[in-house]
Every structure is written in structure tokens, then in C-alpha cells.
Chain A
């Protein structure tokens, strides 16, 4: 067996830790140096044994007792080596044309990043590769996969990976357990073809998954999958935020909602709108598409459906047998997958949904497939007749709808022109700003705005705050550090930049500048945009 320098260090280090720790425990259980009766000394000695021994006489508690990369020997079947092509959703690496297994190196970096979950809503996602879902991995049956998991130094958490495609305890979890700023390597042979979920399996596991740590790995069968014109990568996940759906700001994870399985969001590819508008999947009439669909969960089962299409073939549960034809909705369990294929006969926008429909229309589980090309009126005619149907109604109401609409438009104009209404917008801003303050700022500046003397400067009646509006904006978006004098007292702390959007900055500043004895003009979104643009230079 050949060990690398690192391996050798690692194992020596671990063993080194053990005897070294022992005196600490004894110290903890020991007694003052003087005046202790002999009995006590005897007790101390006896105590040290049951307490110290079981904990430290055991083998070093190291999950990854590294065997070294060469311990596994060589696989006669494997020819050559290559680096896996990995893609972010909705893209899929190209089909593998190799006719033999090879050694494939997969490198994924785990990063904890703030990303947009919906308009104005941000969330700290834990990711395989910087996005949700994690990067798509495509290997061939019987490939030897050498997996490198890197955990970015800025991570707060250790992470690992459990690939459902791995045959072995934990799916690689123990072997890939990696502290922030470190890297692990393990290998597996992809002996079972199919489409598999991978996910993080570090405690607390459901939370790591709820934060976005899942993706798909395709082990392509030896004979390959039937050729199609386009392939897409879509993964559903349920997300649990403290705020309700759409509530703005950086939203923390909500443990209670997660345990009650009451998600605030159910989304495709990590965000509301990730597959909508400009981000829609695109294809052309006459093409056959395949969607690699996964469900990261952690809790919900998906009823995956494409409105206006019928799946020609479904590989249920991600197996390699296209075992069902003409399927309207296929069930995809949490921690499971499916492959669906269908030919596009007509143009238009086809909507991907979880057909548990409140998820689609109220929680975000909705995507689009835009198909361009010539109409085929025989397959779908479009609207052929648009006529009035009065039923038994008299025509007394004819034209009434138009008159109502016109009057409502006039009401809107009148409202917009009223200065009193304009004044009320400031109050709306303050009310919204208060919410932001109570989520983000109060912990330091206190709910009273008084701060903590000498530590956190006050906002209430604050000369520093009121003197310079732009400086206040910059303080939030860029952070504030170094000596400052507020109401004659000197402060020298660090306020990190606060992740708020322009609306939120405007609202929270309007709030603090008009509360607790402060009085100022409203801070507008334009003010914030300008300050952001200027401070970007």
C-alpha cells in the first residue's frame, strides 16, 4: 500500500491526538493539590480509569481512516481516464459515446451561497457547485468514478455526499465527510445504470437537503439511451423559510415548518421563475425531448406533469426500462427520479408543474417549455369559434363590463393624482421598513433603536444617521467600520454589509429616519440605486 504524504500525516495526527487529550480529562476529574485525604487520591485514580479509558482507548474516532487511493487495486475492464463534464441545470452533459468503461474524475465544490429564491426573496443555499440543484453528473455503466468533494473555506458547515448510484454503505457519505476548507476523495464503480439522486448526508440531514444539497447523477447503460434531440435537467425541491411565500428579504430556514412538512416554497431548479420567461426551456416542433427529472425533497412527493403534453415514454423511478407509455402525470418520490420523453407536435408554451396544484400556482412549482415551429392544426386547431353565448340571459348587461372597466380606470387616475395618497406611500414604506428592521437590524441596534452604549451605536435621535442620507445607504449596502462619533460617543466596531434589496434598504431607512424621534424625508428606491451605482466605482 502506498500512502501519500497527506494520508500519512492524517493518520499520525489522529493517533497523536489521543494520548495528548487524556491529561485534560484527568485534570477535569482530579482534585486540588493539597490537603486531600488519601481516599480522595485513590478515588481520583480509580475515576480516571472508567472515565478516560473507554473514550480514548478505542481506535481513533476518524470516519475516513484513509486507505489511500491505490489500495483498491486496478480494474482490468477500465481503459483510459477522463474528467467528467458537469453542467448546471437545466443543461445536461452530452451523451457518452464511449464503448468501454473508463476512469472518470468528478470534482464538485460545495459552497454556501445567498441566492435569489423569488423576487426580492433571498435564501442561504448550501450547494453542490454553487447552484441548486447540484451539477449534473453523467457517467457510463461500469465506469470507475473518482470523486473529489471540496468544501469551500467560507463554509460554516461540514458536508458530504451520498450518491444513490453508489453501491456501498452510506453511498459515499462517510468517505466524503469534509470540513470547511478541506477536500475528500473516494472512488466507486458505477455498476448499476439508472438516474439517481445525490444529496448531502451530514447531520442534520434533512436540513442540509432542505437547503438545496441535491442533484442528479446519470449512470448511462452500456448500450446508451435512445437518441433524442434535446435533454433537460429539472429537479424539484421544497423550501422552508421563516417568512411566508413572497415575504421579502434574506429568509432564514424554518425548522418548525420543515418538521411539519409545510413548505413556503416548492420550486423547480432552486428558485421560483428559474424556468419561466427568458429562462424557459426551449425546443422546436418535431423534436423529441427528454427531461431528467429529480425530486430532492426533503419531504414532498412530486406529481410531475407537463400541461398540454403526454409523456410518450416514462422510465419510472429513474430505472433504465421505459416501462410505461402515454403517461399524463408521473409520481416522483423524494430522493427519486424519472426520465420522461416526448415528441413535440405543435408549437406553444407547455407548462411543467407539480400537479398538486397549490404548489404550482402558489408556491412556485411551475416551469415553461417554449416550442417554436409551424402550427399543426390537425393536431391542435387553436380557437376556431369565439362567439357570444347568452344562454337564458337577456341582453340587458351588454356593454356593462366595458363601462365598469372605464370607470375603474378613472378611479385609479384620481387616486394617483391625490397628494394625500402620495403621503400615505411613505407610511407604507415605514411599515414595510419596520418588518425589515425587526428581521435584520434589531439584534444589534435593539428594538428600541437605542443600540448598546459603546458597542452598537444608537439609531434613535442619532445625529450621525440623520446627517447624511447617502452615507446611511452606503452603511447598509457596503457595511460600516472604523471609528465614528454618534451623539458625542465614539464607536469603533464592524457592521458587515447587509444583504437587502433596493426596496428593503429604502424602506428600512425611511423607517429608522422617521422613528424614535427622528424626522426625515423618505428614502426612495432611486436614492438607493444611485448610491449603489456610485459606491460601485
Chain B
């Protein structure tokens, strides 16, 4: 997804990245397991759906701790309690549009329209990011999100499992239920992560970066990548409609937007034991 225009830069980046992989191959610090409510997601390789001719085909993603479910109304209530500037009546319009927490009864009262265990929705990217920071965590990158979401409940390579893809797509083509279901009512994926599919959309830290493509941005980069005819030329897997839909969806967002089916979850880097020496040999990865 990232644009590296000059071949030399690309080579350097590749070497550096290989080094990064070597560094990160350090064992997770002994005795440290994921905090409560989070699960370990192993490192992997993310293959971006949209890619310019010079972009990396494979992006290594480090192991991380991931919240096993989206942030709920209960979680978010605690956040706004402690951070008055994020209450509905006080939030700056710059950071959240007028739909912010519209389904809550009041500033500190989710009310009947937002039960405890429903994922919180109608939150902007800024709000999600502030929550994550307050929690000492961070939002996932799109690469991390997509990689975690590619793991199925039965097969690690979920994208090779037609049943898994069909189930995902099914959510995209069924109406939004009148009452949003609560979190963790569906089978988790093999890493124990719930609700990456089938419940809500989720913000990612770099939700808008898929648009950085081709040349410096005029107003046509998006046309080439996401609209009509030529749209699919840059895509690596043209048959992965669910991924197309996610990229289409993310591209329509601005950081202040709030949507009735858009929430988020947080992640944490896994602390690693330092490695004594570093070798600059390319890893076998990509």
C-alpha cells in the first residue's frame, strides 16, 4: 500500500525491513502473556490488495496483542467519564461530526439504545485514537487488521477457504439489524479473536492510506485505484470482494466521521527480549 517510488529506496527499504524482521525475531519476553481481554496474534505477511507497480508485494507484520473483541459501550463510557472533552456535548466538531455517540441517551448515559456489551459505534477516528492512547494502547494498522482478519475459524489461510469468504460477504450483503448484536457471540478465529467480521466495521490507524497510490495526488489517483474500469488493475486479488468492499468503505471515510456501524478495537506491541547482535542478511520472507 505504501508508495516507494525510487528503486534504490525500495532496495534500501527492503534491506532495512529484512533487518527489522531479523530484529523482531527475538523471543517474546518470558513470562509475559497478553493482558486480560487481549490475545496474541503471531507475526505474518500481509499482501496488500491495492498496490502500485513499485509498492511492496508483501508487508511483514509483527506479532501483536490484540483486543479479542471491539471496544464496547461500557468501555467507552469509562473513557468519556475520565475524559470530559470526549463527552458528546463537549467534543470539538473538528474531531467528531454531529453524529458522535448519537445513539446514546446522554453524555454519561448510554441508555436503552446502547447496551453494555454492544460494540461502541458512532465514534470518530480521533475519538478511537484518543481512547486507545488513554488505554495505553494503539489502533491497528490496516495491514495488521487485514492480516488478523484473514485468519478463519477453521483455517489459518482464511482467504483460501471459500466458506469463510462467503460468510464474510454474507454480512456485507445483509441488512443492518435494527438492534446491533453484542460482542463475542460468534465463533472466534483460530487466534481467539472475535467479531473481526460480521458485527461492525472497524477503524484502522491508517484507514486512508490505501489512496496513496501512483503519482503524487491529483484528484485522479483514486479513480484509477478504486473506481470503475481500470479500478481493478492495481488489485492483487480481484476475486476477494470482501477485501474490495473494506477498502472501498475505508476510502469513503474522513477522520471526523461517525457511522452507526463503525467502531474499533485496540492493539499493543508485544515486548520482545533484546537480541544481542544484528545481522543485515535478507530474511527469506518476501
Whether both chains belong to one complex is answered with yes
The residues of A that contact B232 with a CB separation of less than 8 Å are 203-204
B134-148 interface mask toward A, CB cutoff 8 Å, 1 = contact, 0 = none?
A: 000011010010000
**Which residues between 165 and 196 of chain B lie within 8 Å of chain A, taking CB atoms?**
166-167, 169-179, 181-182, 184-187
The residues of A that contact B167 with a CB separation of less than 8 Å are 443
Partner of B208 from the list A61, A160, A493 (CB cut-off 8 Å) is A61
B33 part of interface (Cβ distance < 8 Å): no
A416-450 interface mask toward B, CB cutoff 8 Å, 1 = contact, 0 = none?
A: 00000000000000000000000000011000000
The residues of B that contact A14 with a CB separation of less than 8 Å are 208, 254-255
Given known A-B contacts A16-B94, A158-B252, A180-B260, A63 and B178 have beta carbons under 8 A apart = no
The complex places the Cα of A259 from the Cα of B62 at a distance, in Å, of: 35
The complex places the Cα of A43 from the Cα of B17 at a distance, in Å, of: 10
The complex places the Cα of A279 from the Cα of B171 at a distance, in Å, of: 33
Task: Evaluate contact between B212 and A35: CB separation under 8 angstroms.
Answer: no
Task: Evaluate contact between A255 and B175: CB separation under 8 angstroms.
Answer: no
Tell me the dominant secondary structure on chain B's binding face.
loop
Given known A-B contacts A28-B62, A43-B16, A255-B169, A50 and B249 have beta carbons under 8 A apart = no
Given known A-B contacts A43-B20, A157-B248, A497-B178, A50 and B4 have beta carbons under 8 A apart = yes
B253 part of interface (Cβ distance < 8 Å): yes
Given known A-B contacts A14-B254, A170-B223, A202-B227, A47 and B129 have beta carbons under 8 A apart = no
The complex places the Cα of A51 from the Cα of B141 at a distance, in Å, of: 13
The residues of A that contact B241 with a CB separation of less than 8 Å are 204, 207, 255
The residues of B that contact A154 with a CB separation of less than 8 Å are 175-176, 260
The residues of B that contact A21 with a CB separation of less than 8 Å are 205-206
> What residue of chain A has the Cβ atom nearest to residue B261's Cβ?
A156
B1-38 interface mask toward A, CB cutoff 8 Å, 1 = contact, 0 = none?
A: 11111000100110011011001000000000000000
The residues of B that contact A32 with a CB separation of less than 8 Å are 271-272, 274
The residues of A that contact B259 with a CB separation of less than 8 Å are 153, 179-181
The complex places the Cα of A45 from the Cα of B195 at a distance, in Å, of: 35
The complex places the Cα of A58 from the Cα of B13 at a distance, in Å, of: 18
**Which residues between 188 and 215 of chain A lie within 8 Å of chain B, taking CB atoms?**
201-205, 207, 211
> What residue of chain A has the Cβ atom nearest to residue B248's Cβ?
A203
A172-194 interface mask toward B, CB cutoff 8 Å, 1 = contact, 0 = none?
A: 01100111111000000000000
A253 part of interface (Cβ distance < 8 Å): yes
Given known A-B contacts A54-B4, A173-B223, A481 and B179 have beta carbons under 8 A apart = yes
Partner of B248 from the list A37, A61, A158, A455 (CB cut-off 8 Å) is A158
Task: Evaluate contact between A205 and B260: CB separation under 8 angstroms.
Answer: no
Question: Measured between C-beta atoms, what is the minimum distance from A451 to chain B in Å?
Answer: 11
In this complex, the member of B13, B248, B272 whose beta carbon has the largest number of chain A beta carbons within 10 angstroms is B248
The residues of B that contact A174 with a CB separation of less than 8 Å are 219-220, 222-223, 227
Task: Evaluate contact between A25 and B141: CB separation under 8 angstroms.
Answer: yes
Q: What band does the interface of chain B fall in when counting residues whose beta carbon is under 8 Å from A?
A: 35 or more
Question: Measured between C-beta atoms, what is the minimum distance from A348 to chain B in Å?
Answer: 41
B285 part of interface (Cβ distance < 8 Å): no
The complex places the Cα of A330 from the Cα of B258 at a distance, in Å, of: 47
The complex places the Cα of A189 from the Cα of B182 at a distance, in Å, of: 48
Question: Measured between C-beta atoms, what is the minimum distance from B138 to chain A in Å?
Answer: 6
Task: Evaluate contact between B94 and A13: CB separation under 8 angstroms.
Answer: yes
The complex places the Cα of A452 from the Cα of B153 at a distance, in Å, of: 15
**Which residues between 56 and 99 of chain A lie within 8 Å of chain B, taking CB atoms?**
56, 58-63, 65
**Which residues between 213 and 237 of chain B lie within 8 Å of chain A, taking CB atoms?**
216-217, 219-223, 226-228, 231-232
The residues of B that contact A402 with a CB separation of less than 8 Å are none
The residues of A that contact B90 with a CB separation of less than 8 Å are none
Task: Evaluate contact between B222 and A24: CB separation under 8 angstroms.
Answer: no
Task: Evaluate contact between B185 and A456: CB separation under 8 angstroms.
Answer: yes
**Which residues between 141 and 179 of chain A lie within 8 Å of chain B, taking CB atoms?**
153-158, 160, 162, 169-170, 173-174, 177-179
The complex places the Cα of A481 from the Cα of B144 at a distance, in Å, of: 34
Question: Measured between C-beta atoms, what is the minimum distance from A478 to chain B in Å?
Answer: 11
The complex places the Cα of A56 from the Cα of B126 at a distance, in Å, of: 17
A537 part of interface (Cβ distance < 8 Å): no
A9 part of interface (Cβ distance < 8 Å): yes
The complex places the Cα of A52 from the Cα of B211 at a distance, in Å, of: 15
The residues of B that contact A374 with a CB separation of less than 8 Å are none
The complex places the Cα of A51 from the Cα of B61 at a distance, in Å, of: 13
The residues of A that contact B212 with a CB separation of less than 8 Å are 54-55, 58, 61
The residues of B that contact A160 with a CB separation of less than 8 Å are 227
Task: Evaluate contact between B174 and A204: CB separation under 8 angstroms.
Answer: no
> What residue of chain B has the Cβ atom nearest to residue A24's Cβ?
B205
The complex places the Cα of A16 from the Cα of B126 at a distance, in Å, of: 10
B264 part of interface (Cβ distance < 8 Å): no
Partner of B94 from the list A12, A181, A203, A456 (CB cut-off 8 Å) is A12
Task: Evaluate contact between B125 and A153: CB separation under 8 angstroms.
Answer: no
The complex places the Cα of A51 from the Cα of B55 at a distance, in Å, of: 11
B244 part of interface (Cβ distance < 8 Å): yes
Q: What band does the interface of chain A fall in when counting residues whose beta carbon is under 8 Å from B?
A: 35 or more
The complex places the Cα of A51 from the Cα of B171 at a distance, in Å, of: 34
Task: Evaluate contact between A157 and B2: CB separation under 8 angstroms.
Answer: no
Partner of B179 from the list A17, A112, A479 (CB cut-off 8 Å) is A479
A27 part of interface (Cβ distance < 8 Å): yes
> What residue of chain B has the Cβ atom nearest to residue A171's Cβ?
B228
Given known A-B contacts A28-B269, A59-B216, A496 and B249 have beta carbons under 8 A apart = no
A1-34 interface mask toward B, CB cutoff 8 Å, 1 = contact, 0 = none?
A: 0000000011011101100110011011101101
The residues of B that contact A24 with a CB separation of less than 8 Å are 129, 138-139, 141, 205-206
Task: Evaluate contact between B231 and A47: CB separation under 8 angstroms.
Answer: no
Task: Evaluate contact between A13 and B255: CB separation under 8 angstroms.
Answer: yes
Partner of B245 from the list A17, A170, A204, A455 (CB cut-off 8 Å) is A204
Given known A-B contacts A31-B23, A32-B274, A154-B176, A252 and B252 have beta carbons under 8 A apart = no
Question: Measured between C-beta atoms, what is the minimum distance from B83 to chain A in Å?
Answer: 16
A46 part of interface (Cβ distance < 8 Å): yes
Task: Evaluate contact between A156 and B129: CB separation under 8 angstroms.
Answer: no
Task: Evaluate contact between A252 and B4: CB separation under 8 angstroms.
Answer: no
Partner of A201 from the list B99, B228, B244 (CB cut-off 8 Å) is B228
Given known A-B contacts A59-B217, A154-B176, A157-B245, A17 and B139 have beta carbons under 8 A apart = no
Task: Evaluate contact between B239 and A255: CB separation under 8 angstroms.
Answer: yes
The complex places the Cα of A111 from the Cα of B199 at a distance, in Å, of: 19
Question: Measured between C-beta atoms, what is the minimum distance from B144 to chain A in Å?
Answer: 8
Given known A-B contacts A156-B176, A255-B169, A496-B179, A17 and B228 have beta carbons under 8 A apart = no
B131 part of interface (Cβ distance < 8 Å): no
With A124-B174, A180-B261 already in contact, 10 other A-B pairs whose C-beta atoms are closer than 8 Å: A10-B254, A16-B255, A40-B23, A47-B20, A59-B217, A60-B208, A170-B223, A252-B166, A452-B187, A479-B178
> Can you list 22 A-B contacts with CB-CB less than 8 angstroms, sorted by A residue number?
A10-B254, A13-B256, A21-B205, A24-B138, A25-B206, A35-B274, A47-B17, A50-B13, A54-B2, A55-B3, A59-B217, A63-B251, A157-B249, A179-B253, A181-B258, A202-B252, A204-B248, A252-B166, A443-B167, A455-B184, A494-B182, A496-B177
B residues contacting A by CB (< 8 A) are: 1-5, 9, 12-13, 16-17, 19-20, 23, 62, 93-95, 99, 125-126, 129, 138-139, 141, 144, 166-167, 169-179, 181-182, 184-187, 201, 205-206, 208-212, 216-217, 219-223, 226-228, 231-232, 239, 241, 244-245, 247-249, 251-261, 269, 271-272, 274, 278
The 9 closest A-B pairs by CB, nearest first: A158-B252, A61-B211, A496-B177, A17-B255, A203-B248, A179-B252, A35-B274, A204-B244, A24-B205
